[in-house]
Amino acid sequence: MFSSTAKKFGVTEFVNPKDHDKPVHEVLAEMTNGGVDRSIECTGSINAMISAFECVHDGWGVAVLVGVPNKDDAFKTHPMNILNERTIKGTFFGNYKPRSDLPSVVEKYMNKELELEKFITHEVSFSDINKAFEYMLRDVVHCSS
């Protein structure tokens, strides 16, 4: 299910951790002859964040963490992952500066360069805002497990 959806958005390879007996970072290291150059995590799952960091290549790999983890989560990795010159970066809102960057996003949408409708899974009225949060939390938990 996730694989076909991901490929619609341009993903070329998809690895479901549930399909493997070993940690996903080891699977990715084997697939890529040592690790990926770049990884992006956007689920907020602490396990996905750790995997995103641990799957980048020693020496030049960069992991960018976008998702917001639970306030009680702790990021744990072996110190050698850092000493081997992997880089980890974090960002809120993709480093977008709303005042200067948002107008270009709106322009791309208006010019049909961004198909944001594909990302809409539910529509709720403002009076049902709590239902929207339920949907969001349900989907995040579903994607993270």
Sign of CA dihedral 63, 64, 69, 73: positive
Which residues, 6 or more positions from 113, have their beta carbon under 8 angstroms from its beta carbon? none
Domains along the sequence of the chain with CATH: 1-95 (3.40.50.720), 97-145 (no CATH)
Residue type, 47: N
Q: If you average pLDDT over every residue of the chain, what do you get?
A: 85
Which residues, 6 or more positions from 12, have their beta carbon under 8 angstroms from its beta carbon? none
d(CA 59, CA 37): 10
**67-120 residue pLDDT tens:** 888 889 999 999 999 999 999 999 876 677 888 888 988 998 999 888 888 878
Percent of the chain past pLDDT 70, that is, above it, reads 92
**Other CB atoms within 10 A of residue 50 CB:** 22
CA distances 15 to 10, 27, 28, 96, 120, Å, are: 14, 8, 8, 29, 24
**134-143 residue pLDDT tens:** 887 776 544 4
pLDDT of residue 143: 46
